Amino acid sequence: MTDFKKHPASFRDPAGFVFQSDSKWYRQINQSYAQAYSKLKSSGLLDKLIAQNKLIPHSEIQKNLSGDKNHWLTLLPQQIPYLSFPYEWSFDALRDTAILTLDIALESMNYGMILKDATPFNFQIVSGGPILIDTLSFEKYDETKPWVAYRQFIETFLCPLLLSSYKSPAFIGMLSQYPNGIPVNFCAALLPFSSKLNPLSGLHIHLQSKVSAEKTSNTKQITFTREKLTRILAHLKSGIQNLKLNQVRSEWNDYYDSTVPKKNYVEEKERLFRSFLEISSPVSCLDIGTNQGYFSLLASEMEIDTVAIDSDHLCVNDLYIDTRKKNIKNLLPLVIDMSNPSPSIGWDNEERAAFLGRSKFDMVLALALIHHLAIGKNLPFEKIANTFSSLGEWLIIEFVPSSDEKSTIILGERTDMFSWYTQEIFETEFSNFYTIKEKKTIGESGRTLYLMHRNLS
């Protein structure tokens, strides 16, 4: 096929690979995996996991679309609207995915199969929750052998979750440096002494670290049983369900609940926001600096597919929990610092695309953000406007003057450094990239809300 394009991350699994054709993503099953897939399907496990929304649904295509000599079957999976990676997820998103992985492993054993892979990179957050996207992750279950994916599960799920619980949620971001998992020995060294008394971390981290250090080539193979593996998986699930995020709140966590300038600010801003969305009619939007997600939720209520990002892990985690409770399917919260977004990583820096490289939207939202970027991060208006314009056709942006209470907090004693931070210069610089369609003062706040449309290049 002339438009065949293999996904740059799909080259390690001999069972098959993912490729793109006619703007759609497909998964090829190679002949070597034919027997395993046939068992997955004939056993009833495939249909059950799909019905339970644990495994992404697909249709089968007999035609060899890739032209590959190893082709056996082609799957056309449900297309995912937006790809994200585990190092961009919140604590609860990763924990939900860990629990789902264990549920799938336990369910698979009832059908004579088991997961051969147990990594969060085989999942995506879709319609408000995790779902397994790698249909080739199953193999025939041998009750006499330990779970082949146990170590992978511990290092890719349990290590970052425990470090987030005991230390900081920033450790989830370490999955970008350790995509194969945070090493058990490293995790054990970082955890406090008290974690040795916790059955979850004591057994699955500290004991494993000790065994790994003492392991020799003469180590006797331990005989396994189904009952033993079931107990191990159940123990992991119970312990992970009880993990809580170490919550260190910042002064920005309750942005719209704290002393935001002047009365009726939020109400007037919401009114203008809704009117700007009605004018622009976006199908998708990116909310940069979403905080608690107030306006992301409004956009999703207006049936706009929304990705909400913020560098504050607790804000994003709260928003993720909110979407789960309310069953909001068109809102994806991610932990991303816009001043330092996820880069391209992996082999040849191609396996996992940079955030900016996979982010194209109809609308970009930048509400109560410009002062954080311009003053807090020392970013010129021209740089901000250029990046925003690359992400979406429309822009709703709020200008916060230097006299604003929130701006003065960020400015501190550096007022002389930001003489260029004025509304006039802001409009001039942004007008090089956008046409200002609407401009309204938000009540008595002194802030201004803009609707801008990207200039034709």
pLDDT, tens digit only, all 457 positions of the chain: 457 899 999 989 999 999 999 889 999 999 999 999 999 999 999 999 999 999 999 999 999 999 999 999 999 999 999 999 999 999 999 999 999 999 999 999 999 999 999 999 999 999 999 999 999 999 999 999 999 999 999 999 999 999 999 999 999 999 999 999 999 999 999 999 999 999 999 999 999 988 877 665 455 566 789 999 999 999 999 999 999 998 766 555 555 555 455 668 999 999 999 999 999 999 999 999 999 999 999 999 999 999 999 999 999 999 999 999 999 999 999 999 999 999 999 999 999 999 999 989 999 999 999 999 999 999 999 999 999 999 999 999 999 998 888 888 888 757 668 889 999 999 999 999 999 999 999 998 899 999 999 998 6
Q: Which two tokens stand for residue 210?
A: 């000790």
| Predicted pLDDT of residue 191 | 96
Amino acid 258: pLDDT = 55
Question: Which pair of structure tokens corresponds to residue 302?
Answer: 């207006």
Six-digit token string for 285:
């939007």
**Tens of pLDDT along 271-307?**
999 999 999 999 999 999 999 999 999 999 999 999 9
CA dist 343 to 16, 164, 308, 351, 436, Å?
27, 22, 18, 11, 31
User: What pLDDT does 253 receive?
Assistant: 56
- State the pLDDT at residue 223: 78
**pLDDT at residue 264 in the model:** 87
Bridge-partner residues for 113, per DSSP? Answer: 140
Mode of pairing for the β-strands spanning 284-288 and 305-310? parallel
Rounded to whole angstroms, how far apart are CA atoms 72 and 347? Answer: 27
Structure tokens at 3: 């438009």
pTM for this prediction: 0.93
What is the structure's pLDDT at 456? 86
Alpha-carbon dihedral 175, 180, 185, 186, rounded to 10 degrees: -30
- E strand or H helix that includes residue 429: helix 423-430
